[in-house]
Amino acid sequence: MQADQLVILFLKAPIPGKAKSRLAAAIGREAALDLYRLLILDAMEMLGQTAYPVHVYYTPADAAESVASLLGAEHMLRPQAGADLGEKMERAFHDAFSAGFTRVVLIGSDLPELEPSIIAQALESLGREEAVLGPAADGGYYLIGFRKGSLLAEAFQDIAWGTSTVLEDTRKALRANGLRVHQLPTLHDLDSAADLKAFWERCPKTGARRSRVREYIEKHQEALPLHDCRH
């Protein structure tokens, strides 16, 4: 166990109407919620294959029971705190560094192709660089990380969250303040019906690991908007 290194997992509680609204519009609220629960469980299983401790930060703040019922009470579960996503992430990093961790990365919960090797690469890079970014194909990022002493508030300020400029605006803030940044491979998150279809089409080509999400899609593919996808 790398006791001085930490992975923070940000997630929305799996509550109807509170998560995956774009996906729900295409496949129905119940199916979208089922998929999101499985994404979270897959993410936790993947992180369990690494050598790093994990802290889970959830929203809304009153959803502790819902999150604990899915993940179990043995995990470090904390509510996200802040006015917007940027402030919530910055506060989570402050918590981690105040607790004594020296290298910290933060990831989202909707990345079916995120692998333990990428988490390891991210944390290892913080031994050389001051920050790390994992670009998402939609212009955002799926991972951001800092080593102790390099956390930059500007990376979380004046960012148009949820838009295609998030990655580039964050990268500009880091570089403007002289931070050396390691860039990880680009990955795809799963937010929409198009993302779902594209993931299913990529699976045979990428050798993506078996997962609860893949098994769910395989089982329900006739009811999902996959069109002429082939497994």
175: number of Cβ within 10 Å: 12
Residue 121 resides in a domain: yes
220 part of a folded domain: no
**Per the domain annotation, does 25 fall within a domain?**
yes
103, 128 Cβ separation under 8 angstroms: no
Q: Which domain, by its residues, includes 132?
A: 5-188
Q: What pLDDT is recorded for position 210? A: 76
pLDDT of residue 9: 98
Q: Is 216 part of any domain?
A: no
Give yes or no for residue 203 having a pLDDT over 90: no
CATH number of the domain that residue 163 is part of: 3.90.550.10
Residue 202 lies in a domain: no
Residue 149 lies in a domain: yes
Q: What is the pLDDT of residue 169?
A: 97
pLDDT-based confidence at residue 229 (cuts at 50, 70, 90): very low
Summarised one tens digit per residue, pLDDT across range 142-171 is 999 999 999 999 999 999 999 999 999 999
pLDDT digits (tens, 9 = 90+) for 83-132: 999 999 999 999 999 999 999 999 999 999 999 999 999 999 999 999 99
Domain-located, residue 221:
no
Question: Is 222 part of a structural domain of the chain?
Answer: no
State how many domains the chain has.
Answer: 1
Own/partner contacts of 200-208, CB < 8 Å, gap of 24 or more, are 200/226, 200/229, 200/231, 201/229, 201/230, 202/113, 203/231, 204/230, 204/231, 206/113, 208/112, 208/113
pLDDT of 77 strictly over 80: yes
